[in-house]
């Protein structure tokens, strides 16, 4: 009550007052505290994963630029050797010792390959309107039954610019789904086509095809020499062949002259590839090369090779020393460790990118070998990035990054975008282009006729679909093509 001492207050109120005063003092002294409980999850992304994804989506030119940037910014990364091609020995000899390149008197094959000092006829330089493949197609397809037209088309596409078969007949039978004896029969028909020797698997077979029907004694001897003594023929071992066949040396020389009249590369007289095989996109560089050699398919990934990159020797040495020191300078240790780790990550991601691209190339060789061998779009099989990712054991986003805006060079030399393997509509569009490239200009095909041709090739499309794809590629209608 007012005017009374605090002694008259209840003990409970006094103790409460003292507690309040105590809390105020604690707050003033900064001793107050609060409790707060927070829950949550934080996702940390590995920087190496980000770098690997970034490098994977770059094409060859962008990857080269990224390498140059990393070399300029990271002193711990260095290139072991220049990626430019070294100067060939022949180039050096042409400059400092041209006489070393002159053929010896017994170098028979080299003499044959030298250009002859003859007056060239202007007709030799005139452009031809028919390619080797069109020429073979006009001869072979009419003599085949309808059921083997696809086999014939496939074999023609397997003939290279020199006139040689690049695909074994067993693989042709497997790719086209026909019996092996039927494929061999078609190959025999192809080898009877002109120019003589076309369709051979090697030089010996090519020469034997041209000597198939010998008439004179010299031609018969030439065939026997090519069949069993080709090495002796190349080395000009006249006396050895003379003793073997028990004939006069002048007869052997005459047989040699018969061989000289043959053509080792029958396809070269047509002077180049047809329009359907021309390299598309001359301004782009292939990120993946698929080539076929005698030893089999070769998959080459273009761009930066991790084998040409390494840690700088001084940085590697200093990094090891700092890790062994008990009291290493913190700033120096942090600097060296950062750039060494950055260089190792970069090299590792380049290696991972290369492995992924190689896997994709090997997959295409195994699953799209018909198209990769011939460049003919009718042999493309349906494929999606999802299917490829599942069969390779990779994520679909990885396949997408690895193939987006990139190009692949197939065995015909043609550079095509990766998109042709994943877009069925693009396959139909390319098939229409190929059909129009081989049509008779005096009697152009209508859209309905093109649809029927596509149906024979196993592609069901309507006439309006043909019209849509033709308009998309800026191709004229049949009426306008005739007037043009």
Q: How confident is the model at residue 95 (pLDDT cuts 50, 70, 90)?
A: low
pLDDT for 9 equals 40
Return the CATH number of the domain spanning residue range 424-483.
1.10.10.60
pLDDT of residue 89: 56
Rounded distance, CA 194 to CA 179, Å? Answer: 25
- Listed range (64-78, 187-201, 403-417, 449-463) with the worst mean pLDDT: 449-463
- What average pLDDT score do residues 231-245 get? 79
d(CA 189, CA 171): 18
What is the structure's pLDDT at 99?
A: 53
Distance CA 342, CA 319 (A): 13
User: Which residue in 345, 362, 414, 445 sits closest to 157, CA to CA?
Assistant: 414
DSSP string spanning 456-475? HTT----HHHHHHHHHHTTP
- Give 18's pLDDT tier (boundaries 50, 70, 90): low
Three-state DSSP state, 300: strand
Peptide bond into 195 cis (omega under 30): yes
Question: pLDDT tens digits, residue range 414-447?
Answer: 888 888 888 766 667 777 777 777 767 667 777 7
pLDDT digits (tens, 9 = 90+) for 315-363: 989 889 888 888 888 888 899 899 999 999 999 999 999 999 999 999 9
In this predicted structure, what is the pLDDT of residue 271? 55
Per-domain residue ranges of the chain: 288-421, 424-483
* Residue, of 448 and 341, whose pLDDT is higher: 341
pLDDT band at 219 (very low <50, low <70, confident <90, very high): confident
Confidence of residue 50 (pLDDT cuts 50, 70, 90): confident
- Percent of the chain scoring above 70 in pLDDT: 72
| Mean pLDDT value across residues 122-143 | 69
The pLDDT of residue 144 is above 80: yes
- Looking at residue 102, its pLDDT comes to 53
Higher local confidence (pLDDT), 253 or 109: 253
Cα first-last separation, the chain: 119
Residue of higher predicted confidence among 481 and 351: 351
Could you please report the per-residue DSSP string of 439-455? S-TTSPPPHHHHHHHHH
Buried b (16+ CB within 10 A) or exposed e, 169-205: beebbebbebeeebbebbbebbbebebbbbbbeebeb
Question: Which pLDDT score is estimated for 72?
Answer: 92
The answer on pLDDT for 128 being more than 70 is no
pLDDT of residue 153: 86
For residue 37, pLDDT beyond 60: no
Answer with the residue of higher pLDDT: 213 or 2.
213
pLDDT of residue 353: 93
Q: pLDDT (tens digit, 9 = 90+) per residue, 273-324?
A: 433 344 344 457 889 999 888 778 889 998 888 989 999 999 989 889 888 8
60: left (phi over 0), alpha (psi -120 to 50) or beta: alpha
Residue 362 has a pLDDT of 93
More confident site: 190 or 234: 190
Mean pLDDT rounded to a whole number for the chain: 76
pLDDT in tens, 150-185: 888 888 888 888 888 888 888 888 878 888 899 899
Q: Give the separation between CA 183 and CA 187, rounded to whole angstroms.
A: 6
Q: Is the pLDDT of residue 34 over 60?
A: no
| Cα 306 to the center of its chain, rounded Å | 19
- Which pLDDT belongs to residue 96? 52
Q: Quick count: other Cβ atoms within 10 Å of Cβ 448?
A: 13
Q: Of residues 278 and 249, which shows the higher confidence score?
A: 249
Place 83 in a pLDDT band, splitting at 50, 70 and 90: very low
């Amino acid at each position: 009550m007012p005017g009374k001492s605090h002694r008259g207050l209840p003990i409970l109120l006094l103790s409460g007052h003292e507690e309040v005063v105590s809390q105020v003092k604690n707050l003033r002294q900064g001793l107050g505290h609060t409790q707060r409980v927070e829950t949550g999850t934080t996702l940390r992304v590995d920087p190496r994963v980000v770098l690997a994804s970034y490098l994977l989506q770059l094409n060859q030119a962008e990857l080269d630029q990224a390498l140059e940037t990393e070399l300029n910014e990271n002193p711990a990364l260095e290139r072991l050797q220049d990626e430019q091609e070294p100067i060939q020995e022949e180039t050096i000899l042409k400059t400092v010792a041209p006489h070393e390149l002159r053929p010896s008197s017994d170098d028979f094959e080299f003499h044959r390959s030298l250009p002859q000092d003859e007056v060239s006829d202007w007709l030799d330089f005139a452009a031809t309107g028919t390619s080797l493949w069109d020429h073979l197609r006009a001869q072979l397809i009419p003599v085949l039954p309808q059921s083997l037209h696809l086999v014939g088309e496939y074999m023609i596409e397997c003939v290279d610019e020199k006139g040689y078969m690049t695909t074994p007949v067993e693989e042709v039978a497997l790719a086209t789904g026909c019996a092996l004896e039927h494929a061999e029969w078609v190959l025999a028909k192809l080898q009877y086509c002109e120019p003589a020797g076309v369709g051979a698997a090697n030089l010996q077979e090519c020469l034997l095809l041209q000597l198939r029907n010998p008439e004179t004694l010299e031609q018969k001897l030439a065939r026997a020499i090519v069949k069993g003594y080709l090495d002796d023929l190349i080395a000009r071992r006249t006396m050895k062949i003379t003793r073997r066949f028990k004939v006069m040396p002048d007869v052997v020389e005459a047989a040699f002259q018969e061989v000289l009249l043959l053509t080792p590369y029958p396809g070269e007289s047509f002077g180049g590839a047809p329009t359907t095989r021309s390299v598309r996109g001359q301004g782009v560089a292939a990120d993946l090369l698929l080539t076929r050699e005698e030893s089999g398919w070769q998959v080459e990934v273009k761009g930066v090779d991790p084998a040409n990159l390494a840690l700088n020797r001084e940085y590697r040495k200093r990094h090891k020393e700092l890790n062994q020191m008990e009291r290493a300078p913190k700033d120096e240790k942090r600097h060296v460790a950062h750039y060494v780790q950055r260089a190792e990550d970069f090299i590792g991601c380049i290696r991972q990118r290369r492995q992924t691209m190689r896997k994709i190339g090997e997959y295409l060789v195994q699953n799209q070998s018909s198209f990769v061998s011939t460049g003919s779009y009718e042999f493309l099989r349906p494929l999606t990035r999802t299917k490829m990712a599942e069969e390779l054991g990779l994520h679909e986003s990885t396949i997408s990054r690895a193939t987006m805006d990139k190009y692949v060079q197939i065995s015909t030399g043609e550079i095509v975008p990766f998109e042709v393997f994943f877009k069925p509509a693009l396959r139909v569009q390319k098939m229409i282009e190929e059909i129009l490239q081989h049509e008779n200009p005096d009697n152009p095909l209508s859209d309905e006729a093109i649809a029927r041709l596509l149906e024979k090739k196993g592609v069901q499309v309507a006439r309006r679909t043909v019209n849509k794809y033709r308009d998309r590629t800026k191709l004229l209608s049949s009426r306008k093509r005739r007037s043009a």
